[in-house]
Structure 1
């Protein structure tokens, strides 16, 4: 579950950065999201390979180790669709949870 939360936060940041001429790229980091560098790079690679983000270049360091080069990181249309679908699911979950909380025996 923590991975999907991280994915949502990364994509949300890139969505927000669509409005900025000169975004603060230091926020696109493991430190900013309070995760390990290995987890952050793995998630970023998954997002890139799945087509949710673009503008990064994976650098193979040998074995299964990678680093990232930022060219012009951006969210793709597929990434925007993920955010929209995920937001609708959260709203539905909160609504159903509210109904359950006020309905006895459910």
Structure 2
């Protein structure tokens, strides 16, 4: 996976997390075009997130017309919440360490 794929994973998980604050899921913007990627990549990343146990309530439907998404109360699992928490903390630590390096003479 490329760094861009991990950014996409983070953005998808953050989107689902934000939607969990409301009674209904904002499925109008839950599309490949909203995330600026191809439909194939979007579906593949969603499938990966489902298989990893990070999300639930989403089904990839494949038929004669192609692939699509069925949304059945999409939400993050505990593993998905942990992924977001870990990656947010890692980003903060990276920025802090980079800042220290930037101001340390001879580093």
Counterparts of residues 26-37 of structure 1 (less than 5 Å): 26-37=28-39
Count of equivalent residues: 104
When residues 58 and 103 of structure 1 are mapped into structure 2, their CA distance, relative to the original with a 3 A threshold, is same
Partner-residue secondary structure (3-state), 1:28? coil
Output one character per residue of 1:37-86: Cα deviation in whole Å (capped at 9) or x when no partner: 11100000000010000011122348xx7432112211111100000000
TM-score, L = length of structure 1: 0.90
Partner of 1:18: 20
TM-score, L = length of structure 2: 0.89
Gaps of 5+ in 1: none
Partner of 2:77: 76
Counterparts of residues 26-105 of structure 1 (less than 5 Å): 26-61=28-63, 66-105=67-106
Partner-residue secondary structure (3-state), 1:35? coil
Structural RMSD (CA): 1.4
Output one character per residue of 1:1-49: Cα deviation in whole Å (capped at 9) or x when no partner: 1011111111111111111012321221101001111110000000001
